[in-house]
């Protein structure tokens, strides 16, 4: 089993793939209503403890490492890195496995998702999921827009699938 996580302080996506690369679990943990940083961690930890699995590997989307104009501030990047580290520790404690980190761009490339120049990666990932991965449940608002957690569920699938593919390559 492979665990893939897309960690965020607002919504964390979780995907568990079986030995054949098929989805066992794909869900989101919504922590937007909690203002306390450590309460958010506790909610994610409680949700992860509820899935009874014995994974071989854990893959986590690498947190952003640098500034890009118009995007996250230093404070936001620092908070995300701290949160990513704490959730990584939670995973280590829970499954006694050291998480491995994959950059989002590398994961998308390994899975075969192309993001045309000028397009938003999240939108391209969701389109790929809708077209190719029916086991990821995409829900829509009454206005026809994907619900926010769908992006995180899709991203966690990409991380898990990229990790699974890396494991298959090593086995050959």
Tens digit of each residue's pLDDT (9 = 90 or more) over 51-95 = 989 999 999 998 755 444 445 567 777 788 899 999 999 999 999
Tens digit of each residue's pLDDT (9 = 90 or more) over 110-160 = 999 999 898 888 899 999 999 999 888 899 999 999 999 999 999 999 999
Task: Supply the DSSP string of 24-81, one letter for each residue.
Answer: EEEEEEE-TT--SHHHHHHHHHHHHHHS----SEEEEEPPP-S--TTS--HHHHHHHH
pTM here is: 0.89
Q: How many domains does the chain have?
A: 1
Half-sphere exposure of 122 (CA within 13 A, CB side): 9
CATH code, 74: 3.30.420.10
Residue 68 is part of which domain span? Answer: 2-171
């Amino acid at each position: 089993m492979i665990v893939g996580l897309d960690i965020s302080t607002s919504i964390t996506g979780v995907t568990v793939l079986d030995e054949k690369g098929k989805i066992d679990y794909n869900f989101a943990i919504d922590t937007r209503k909690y203002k306390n940083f450590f309460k958010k961690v506790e909610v994610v930890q409680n949700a992860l403890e509820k899935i009874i699995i014995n994974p071989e590997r854990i893959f986590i989307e690498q947190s952003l490492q640098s500034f890009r104009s118009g995007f996250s501030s230093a404070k936001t990047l620092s908070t995300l890195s701290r949160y990513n580290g704490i959730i990584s520790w939670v995973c280590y404690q829970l499954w006694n496995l050291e998480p491995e980190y994959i950059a989002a761009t590398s994961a998308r490339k390994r899975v075969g998702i192309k993001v045309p120049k000028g397009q938003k990666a999240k939108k391209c990932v969701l389109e790929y999921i809708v077209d190719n991965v029916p086991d990821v449940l995409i829900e829509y608002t009454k206005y026809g827009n994907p619900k926010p957690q769908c992006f995180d569920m899709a991203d966690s699938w990409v991380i898990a699938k990229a990790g699974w593919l890396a494991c298959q390559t090593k086995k050959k």
